[in-house]
Structure 1
Amino acid sequence: MKITKEQSFEENRKFLGFIKECPTSYQTVNTLKKIFDEAGFVQKEEWEYGFWNKDDAFGSPDGEYKGYVIRNDSSIIAFRVPACKSPKGFKIVCSHTDSPMFKFKDNGEYGNSDTCLKLDVEKYGGMITQSWFDRPLGAAGRIVCDVDGILDSILVNISEPSFIIPSLAIHMTRGNDASKTGISVQKEMQPVAADKGLYELIRKEFGIKQSDILGTDLYLYNTQEGCIMGENASLISAPRIDDLQCVYSTMTGFIQTRCQDKPERDEYIKVYAAFDNEEVGSLSRQGASSDFLPVVLRELASVKDITGSGFNRMLSKSFMLSADNAHAMHPNYSEKADVIHRPDMNGGVVIKYHGGQKYTTDACTGAFVKQICKKADIPYQTYYNNSDVAGGSTLGNLVMSNLSVKAADIGIAQLAMHSSYETSGAYDTIYMSEFVKEFYGKETQI
């Protein structure tokens, strides 16, 4: 599969625009909502009566029932139910909407507002802490207000650089190197306001007073824009590449997958899921370990009057891809990689394996992924941890705790994972999207 620099620049320009619109999981889901709305998907609520109304289920020209469900403003599941009478199973792709960053504590402003106002923050997820020093920071997430007796969740985004975490001058650190002694988040990582505090910025931009705010889920984020690097547009650097690169590329593949020329021959329900809280264990009600995906799948099957043992038979014919970025071999730390399985940026889709089952891929499911790649001429590579280096966890095995389907873990190779500014292969954005289209496509049978 040949990718030109023009193709890479055009697609990754869109991807970097997507990142800019998605500072937190709340804005990410809202951005996905807008994209799905424009593509003709209909929002459904878990609580509404007639959630799956069969009378209007297949109103689209291609006979599909296209919709999405949002939970907690920060996780989303979209679906495409075909016109056939009895779907064989589900084709599912999962990714996650959150990234490591600093979370603001309620009413967490202190210090002198005239000289130095600081924010009280805590770590969200496992980050490369020192990468957050001396970065221009904005704040985003959601606030909850009492509006005429009704609690209203409001998305906010202070996108202008308004805070910074200043490092200590080299002249004052001699004999006390922070890289050796560790970094105290409570002492050293408290952001300093440029002039106005966070609540004042919210009041000025959104007209909401601090006294009207009853709850916050607000995060500090790096406002630096991403960039495309190299004469051949081969690399991208940006905040939150993990896991927004998979969120974006799997979404484009999901939307762009064509239906069968004869819709009644499309035999699988296509599902796209983007979960929150992967970076902190996925144990929330909107996380990958929750009942969110199983609930939606059962409701989708019920549209076709499939319940009970019929639903279980559908699961036996289903397949899930857990898409979360992978470690590329670091050119300065090659000893940290496995001696053989050392993914490169722009090397194609990464298939991840782990003997301790942190990844769901086995011989059969990995072969299935490779088969799709070979048929479509999409490059792929394999990842194992260095046997002496512990790896991270991801979505796949957590989803599997509530849903037993065939599954594989895949990703895109990147450097500096969990830094405030990361780097990955630009061509891989396209490789992943094309792979997902093939997975969802009519030729792929499970």
Structure 2
Amino acid sequence: MINWKNGHLKVDETTLSEIESFAKDYMQFMAVAKTERETVTQSIKEAREKGFRNLDELEGSWRPGEKVYFENRKKSVVFAVLGQKPATEGVNIVVAHVDAPRLDLKPRPLKEDEQIAILETHYYGGIKNFHWVSTPLALHGVVVKTDGTVVEIAVGDKDEDPVLVIPDILPHLGRKIQMSKTMDEAIPGESLDVVIGSVPLKDEEKEPVKKFILKLLNDTYGITEADFLSAELEVVPALKPREVGLDRALIGAYAQDDRVCGYTAFRALLDLAEVPEKTAVVILADKEEVGSMGNTGMRSAFIDKFLSKLIALTKPSFSPLDLYEAWNRTKVLSADVTAAVDPIWKSVHEMQNAARMHYGPVLTKYTGSRGKGGANDAHAEFLAQVREAFDKEGVIWQMAELGKVDEGGGGTVALFMADRGADVVDIGVALWGMHSLFEVSSKLDVYYAYKANQAFFKHLK
């Protein structure tokens, strides 16, 4: 008989202490990893401190226990601990994405209107526009100058920093222009313009506020208006991770979809106590929120290149068939968040197959929408192996679907890994407020996602 219940009724004080310690580390990581670039940079920094080396710098042949990473354009990265068996025998992968819904600056973003300097944006991923108005915002990213100089910008998150904002209209004047419309129409994407300044440059008649902002940018960062043409600047919430609830059992933070799965996978790999039988791999990928397109997303060849490099350590001259066979022997956890039952909105869930806070990470046999459209559907044999691994290590976990059959749905990168021939199942931490500016997770679920990944690396053959 299935007897899932709230994990807080199962754990002892020692485990609770471990949960709190892990949550503290996770929140510190999330405070500095506000973009996919920052997440990749921070994870590589922490990995190198644990002895990981760039795969391209590796000399010699296969050495079990060797720790390597493979960076892809500063937006995605693969980490691995080489196992006792060569890569031709397949590897065990946990893959998560580290991009998140946000507002990207347009190529020519800066303009002045009514003596206010604003930045025009183009939203990235599935957002609710109304989440982004009248809330403190930060600006993160890079500007690349024509001489190759990379200028990093991060403003809005320190206590002493100014923040940006998208002002909303007051309710007194908003009845016709906004409040009589649907939520989808009330705040159009083109109105998500960010206020960046309001002081005019003296002795300038044309666009004096814009020119003052350009002067500030040049004085501070050495950039010009033309440099926006080769920039990747993201508007993100200027919010710190916080404990939620008087019992402090929950975590609120931006971009937990899907950096919570990325972090728990990454830490599981860093903390491996023994050399795994099969090589343990963690992929932190980009572009999932827009379909995994581009050469940093999971539809691209960078992961095939990585696996090929591993195969070449033991078989320098290998055929395409060797790569195919390696994929066919590979096991994958596609780690992405799902929806936890919110008592306010529980009507969208079929309660017997719904995920709950504090019940552990959620195994999901299939995602997709309605008739499993666009889904990977995990094989029963593989699910049984994963269940066994979790149970051997005492992992608290649950199994669920994403909402009622006809309610909607969603997808992950699982199908792209399955296309390569691997066995794949989805797993993730359940959230409230997914794709909002302040997503909420359970500390217990975050910790047991970490433990589930460790069990997977240890026991999957």
Structure 1-normalised TM-score?
0.88
Residue 319 of structure 1 pairs with residue 338 of structure 2: no
Which residue of structure 1 aligns with residue 364 of structure 2? 352
Deviation at 1:36, TM superposition (A): 1.1
Which residue of structure 2 aligns with residue 297 of structure 1? 307
Residue 163 of structure 1 pairs with residue 139 of structure 2: no
The amino acid across from 2:152 in the alignment is L
Residue 439 of structure 1 pairs with residue 442 of structure 2: no
What CA distance in whole angstroms lies between the structure 2 residues aligned with 1:209 and 1:188?
25
Which residue of structure 1 aligns with residue 89 of structure 2? 88
- Counterpart selection for 2:191 from 178, 188, 192: 188
What CA distance in whole angstroms lies between the structure 2 residues aligned with 1:13 and 1:195?
39
SS in 2 for 1:303: helix
Deviation at 1:209, TM superposition (A): 3.9
Deviating beyond 6 angstroms after TM superposition, the runs of 4 or more aligned structure 1 residues are: none
**CA separation of 1:226 and 1:3: change in aligned 2, threshold 3 A:** farther
What CA distance in whole angstroms lies between the structure 2 residues aligned with 1:325 and 1:243?
6
Which residue of structure 2 aligns with residue 2 of structure 1? 11
Deviates more, 1:2-11 or 1:211-220: 2-11
- Counterpart selection for 1:54 from 49, 52, 60: 60
Do the aligned residues in 1 keep the contact of 2:88 with 2:325 (CA within 8 Å)? no
Which residue of structure 1 aligns with residue 203 of structure 2? none
Residue 393 of structure 1 pairs with residue 396 of structure 2: no
Do the aligned residues in 2 keep the contact of 1:8 with 1:430 (CA within 8 Å)? yes
What CA distance in whole angstroms lies between the structure 2 residues aligned with 1:424 and 1:277?
22
Deviation at 1:13, TM superposition (A): 2.0
Q: Deviations over 1:44-95 (max 9, x none)?
A: 45xxxxx65326x64xxxx522111111211011111135567632010100
Total equivalences in the alignment = 424
SS in 2 for 1:171: coil
**CA separation of 1:143 and 1:180: change in aligned 2, threshold 3 A:** closer
The amino acid across from 1:226 in the alignment is P
Which residue of structure 2 aligns with residue 43 of structure 1? 54
SS in 2 for 1:162: coil
- Counterpart selection for 1:20 from 31, 39, 48: 31
Deviation at 1:220, TM superposition (A): 0.3
Residues 340-379 of structure 1 aligned to structure 2 (within 5 Å): 340-354=352-366, 355-356=372-373, 358-379=375-396
Deviation at 1:366, TM superposition (A): 2.3
Deviates more, 1:305-314 or 1:250-259: 305-314
**CA separation of 1:112 and 1:335: change in aligned 2, threshold 3 A:** closer
Structure 2-normalised TM-score?
0.85
Which residue of structure 1 aligns with residue 283 of structure 2? 273
Which residue of structure 1 aligns with residue 117 of structure 2? 117
SS in 1 for 2:425: strand
What CA distance in whole angstroms lies between the structure 2 residues aligned with 1:421 and 1:293?
31
What CA distance in whole angstroms lies between the structure 1 residues aligned with 2:219 and 2:258?
32
SS in 2 for 1:172: coil
Which residue of structure 2 aligns with residue 240 of structure 1? 255
Deviation at 1:419, TM superposition (A): 0.6
Which residue of structure 1 aligns with residue 128 of structure 2? 128
Do the aligned residues in 2 keep the contact of 1:136 with 1:161 (CA within 8 Å)? no
**CA separation of 1:270 and 1:112: change in aligned 2, threshold 3 A:** same
Do the aligned residues in 2 keep the contact of 1:320 with 1:407 (CA within 8 Å)? yes
The amino acid across from 1:270 in the alignment is A
Residue 11 of structure 1 pairs with residue 11 of structure 2: no
What CA distance in whole angstroms lies between the structure 2 residues aligned with 1:164 and 1:250?
34
Which residue of structure 1 aligns with residue 141 of structure 2? 141
What CA distance in whole angstroms lies between the structure 2 residues aligned with 1:3 and 1:38?
32
Which residue of structure 2 aligns with residue 78 of structure 1? 79
What CA distance in whole angstroms lies between the structure 2 residues aligned with 1:419 and 1:200?
34
Do the aligned residues in 2 keep the contact of 1:352 with 1:359 (CA within 8 Å)? no
Deviation at 1:359, TM superposition (A): 3.8
What CA distance in whole angstroms lies between the structure 1 residues aligned with 2:186 and 2:121?
14
The amino acid across from 1:33 in the alignment is I
What CA distance in whole angstroms lies between the structure 1 residues aligned with 2:245 and 2:50?
33
What do you get for the CA RMSD once the two structures are aligned? Answer: 2.4
The amino acid across from 2:143 in the alignment is I
Identity %: 21
Do the aligned residues in 1 keep the contact of 2:129 with 2:189 (CA within 8 Å)? no
Deviation at 1:372, TM superposition (A): 1.7
Deviation at 1:37, TM superposition (A): 1.1
What CA distance in whole angstroms lies between the structure 2 residues aligned with 1:181 and 1:229?
29
Which residue of structure 2 aligns with residue 283 of structure 1? 293
What CA distance in whole angstroms lies between the structure 2 residues aligned with 1:200 and 1:23?
26
Do the aligned residues in 2 keep the contact of 1:138 with 1:221 (CA within 8 Å)? yes
**CA separation of 1:43 and 1:89: change in aligned 2, threshold 3 A:** same
Do the aligned residues in 2 keep the contact of 1:95 with 1:322 (CA within 8 Å)? yes
Residue 223 of structure 1 pairs with residue 238 of structure 2: yes
What CA distance in whole angstroms lies between the structure 2 residues aligned with 1:85 and 1:413?
35
Question: 5+ residue gaps in structure 2?
Answer: 1-9, 200-209, 367-371
Deviation at 1:7, TM superposition (A): 3.1
Question: 5+ residue gaps in structure 1?
Answer: 46-50, 261-265
**CA separation of 1:139 and 1:433: change in aligned 2, threshold 3 A:** same
Deviation at 1:356, TM superposition (A): 3.5
The amino acid across from 2:306 in the alignment is V
What CA distance in whole angstroms lies between the structure 1 residues aligned with 2:132 and 2:82?
43
What CA distance in whole angstroms lies between the structure 2 residues aligned with 1:27 and 1:199?
25
Which residue of structure 2 aligns with residue 410 of structure 1? 427
Do the aligned residues in 2 keep the contact of 1:141 with 1:217 (CA within 8 Å)? yes
What CA distance in whole angstroms lies between the structure 2 residues aligned with 1:279 and 1:293?
18
Deviates more, 1:274-283 or 1:5-14: 5-14
Q: Deviations over 1:115-155 (max 9, x none)?
A: 411111011000122111111111112221122xxx34443
Residue 338 of structure 1 pairs with residue 344 of structure 2: no
Do the aligned residues in 2 keep the contact of 1:119 with 1:191 (CA within 8 Å)? yes
Deviation at 1:369, TM superposition (A): 2.1
Do the aligned residues in 2 keep the contact of 1:277 with 1:283 (CA within 8 Å)? yes
What CA distance in whole angstroms lies between the structure 2 residues aligned with 1:427 and 1:3?
12
The amino acid across from 2:186 in the alignment is I
